[in-house]
């Protein structure tokens, strides 16, 4: 957009006034020729020097959800009998989980399989049926007793494939890590400016370059008679979450 400076506006007004006066004094009906005035334009702004830094923020949180993967494996000479007994044990296991407070939406079938067993001569000797579910336990103080109760319903056919821990809602931790990343970037910017003998200016841009959310921590394990004689101990530990940012500062003149 063109901008008229004060001097140019004054010149235009003066020329217009003189033209009007000249026209009136001469009494002539002849029209005055137009006067062209070139308006001043605003020069383009050239970006000044900048300081670019990368900030990092990291926080720790305590997992509040445990996902247990467990199931039932049955063996029988008949495939139908193996599957039928497996269905009965698997249904009892799922019912026990629900009876101990696990919501239906937190229980998911992850594997269902029926396969033949062979001897060393590759003759079919029977069939194995397995049904595996994963269940999210949101009250870790009761997780051990829930696993025990579910396992007892399946007896020797139960299989515990492992557990994992996670943090259900990470929004508060992400906000804290992001704030720490910005503080880290500010500290680095001031340090670089001081070392260079310049003054740190305003922030030009902030870019969130990545958020590293904690992945589930997996623990493998299995059930035995000795394991089921006492409550399963649960230790969720802690998990780390980090945020990285890139901040561009102007160098103040």
pLDDT in tens, 217-227: 555 555 444 34
pLDDT in tens, 127-158: 999 999 999 999 999 999 999 999 999 989 99
> Taking the model in full, what pTM does it have?
0.67
CATH code for the domain defined by 65-166: 3.30.70.2970
Which residues in 45-81 are b (16+ Cβ under 10 Å) and which e? eeeeeebebebebbbebebebbbbbbbbbbbbeebee
Q: Is 247 helix (H, G, I), strand (E, B) or coil?
A: strand
Query: Where do the domains of the chain lie?
Result: 1-44, 50-61+171-213+243-252, 65-166
CATH number 3.30.110.170 given to 50-61+171-213+243-252: yes
């Amino acid at each position: 957009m063109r901008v008229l400076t004060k001097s140019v506006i004054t010149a235009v007004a003066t020329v217009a006034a003189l033209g009007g006066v000249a026209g009136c004094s001469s009494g002539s009906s002849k029209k005055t020729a137009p006067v062209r005035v070139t308006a001043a334009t605003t020069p383009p702004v050239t970006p000044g020097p900048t300081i670019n830094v990368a900030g990092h923020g990291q926080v720790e949180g305590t997992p509040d959800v445990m996902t247990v993967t467990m199931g039932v494996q049955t063996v029988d000479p008949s495939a139908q009998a193996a599957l039928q007994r497996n269905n009965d044990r698997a249904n009892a296991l799922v019912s026990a989980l629900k009876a101990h407070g696990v919501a239906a939406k937190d229980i998911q079938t992850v594997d269902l399989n029926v396969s033949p067993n062979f001897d060393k001569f590759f003759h079919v000797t029977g069939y194995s049926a397995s049904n595996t579910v994963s269940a999210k336990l949101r009250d870790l103080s009761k997780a051990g007793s829930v696993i025990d109760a579910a396992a007892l319903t399946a007896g020797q056919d139960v299989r515990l494939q492992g557990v994992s821990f996670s943090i259900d809602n990470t929004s508060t931790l992400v906000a804290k890590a992001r704030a720490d990343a910005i503080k880290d970037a500010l500290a680095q910017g001031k340090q670089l400016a001081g070392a260079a003998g310049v003054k740190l200016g305003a922030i030009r841009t902030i870019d969130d370059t990545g958020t590293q959310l904690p992945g589930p921590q997996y623990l493998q394990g299995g059930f035995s008679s000795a394991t089921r004689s006492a409550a399963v101990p649960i230790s969720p530990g802690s998990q780390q979450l980090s945020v990285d940012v890139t901040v561009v500062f102007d160098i103040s003149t």
